[in-house]
């Protein structure tokens, strides 16, 4: 199956190219489309991550997430559940995240700006979340902010909002 024929590969490679503002020619699609790590990520249910970096003027794929790559922008595709990826389940099974600066900064802002509001909003899924878990989420956000401030990373000075 060629890269053009495999919607799964085209989905991942197109998103990666778009993320890094790279235009892939046919040869680059073919080279990346035959990457062993990409095949393993898609076809092996036990491999749950695929990372992409733009390094040395090309996209590089890996089934590992290398903490050292946080110096460069890092794009990570991950499976929400261990499964073989098919054209029918690709949108429900694969999620992605980016690490634009340090992993710690990215994690803090992802928790603060994405997950805390979603998980702690009244009337949303908060009815399903135990109050002790809500407290843990708030404490995690507070501790991440303190850690970032201790190591000299700039974060806003507002208190952690307790979303009602």
In a domain, residue 42? The reply is: yes
In a domain, residue 1? The reply is: no
Q: Which residue has the tokens 């878990």?
A: 133
Q: What is the structure's pLDDT at 59?
A: 94
Same domain for 90 and 146, yes or no, is no
In a domain, residue 62? The reply is: yes
Give the structural domain span for 137: 103-150
Same domain for 11 and 73, yes or no, is yes
Same domain for 88 and 34, yes or no, is yes
Query: Across residues 10-36, what is the average pLDDT?
Result: 93
pLDDT tens per residue, range 104-152: 888 999 999 988 888 887 655 545 778 888 889 989 999 999 999 898 8
Same domain for 92 and 74, yes or no, is yes
Provide the token pair at 116.
């805390």
Sheet with 58-62: list strands edge to edge. 58-62, 49-55, 74-79, 94-99
Same domain for 59 and 72, yes or no, is yes
The pTM for the full model equals 0.80
Same domain for 109 and 144, yes or no, is yes
Q: What is the structure's pLDDT at 33?
A: 93
Q: Is 90 exposed, middle or buried (0-12, 13-18, 19+ CB in 10 A)?
A: middle
CA distance 49 to 46: 9
Same domain for 18 and 89, yes or no, is yes
Opening angle at CA 20, ends 87 and 47, nearest 5: 45
At 55, which helix (H) or strand (E)? strand 49-55
> How many structural domains compose the chain?
2
Same domain for 71 and 122, yes or no, is no
């Amino acid at each position: 199956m060629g890269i053009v024929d495999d919607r799964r590969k085209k989905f991942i490679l197109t998103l990666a190219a778009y993320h890094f503002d790279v235009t892939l020619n046919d040869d680059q699609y073919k080279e990346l489309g035959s990457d062993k790590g990409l095949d393993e990520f898609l076809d092996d249910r036990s491999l749950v991550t695929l990372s992409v970096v733009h390094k040395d003027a090309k996209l590089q794929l890996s089934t590992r997430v290398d903490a050292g790559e946080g110096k460069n922008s890092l794009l990570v595709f991950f499976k929400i559940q261990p499964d073989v990826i098919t054209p029918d389940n690709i949108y429900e099974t694969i999620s992605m995240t980016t690490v634009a600066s340090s992993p710690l900064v990215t994690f803090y802002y992802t928790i603060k700006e994405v997950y805390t509001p979603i998980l702690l909003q009244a009337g949303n899924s908060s009815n399903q979340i135990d109050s002790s878990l809500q407290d843990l989420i708030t404490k995690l956000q507070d501790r991440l902010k303190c850690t970032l401030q201790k190591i000299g990373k700039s974060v806003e000075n507002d208190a952690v909002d307790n979303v009602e």
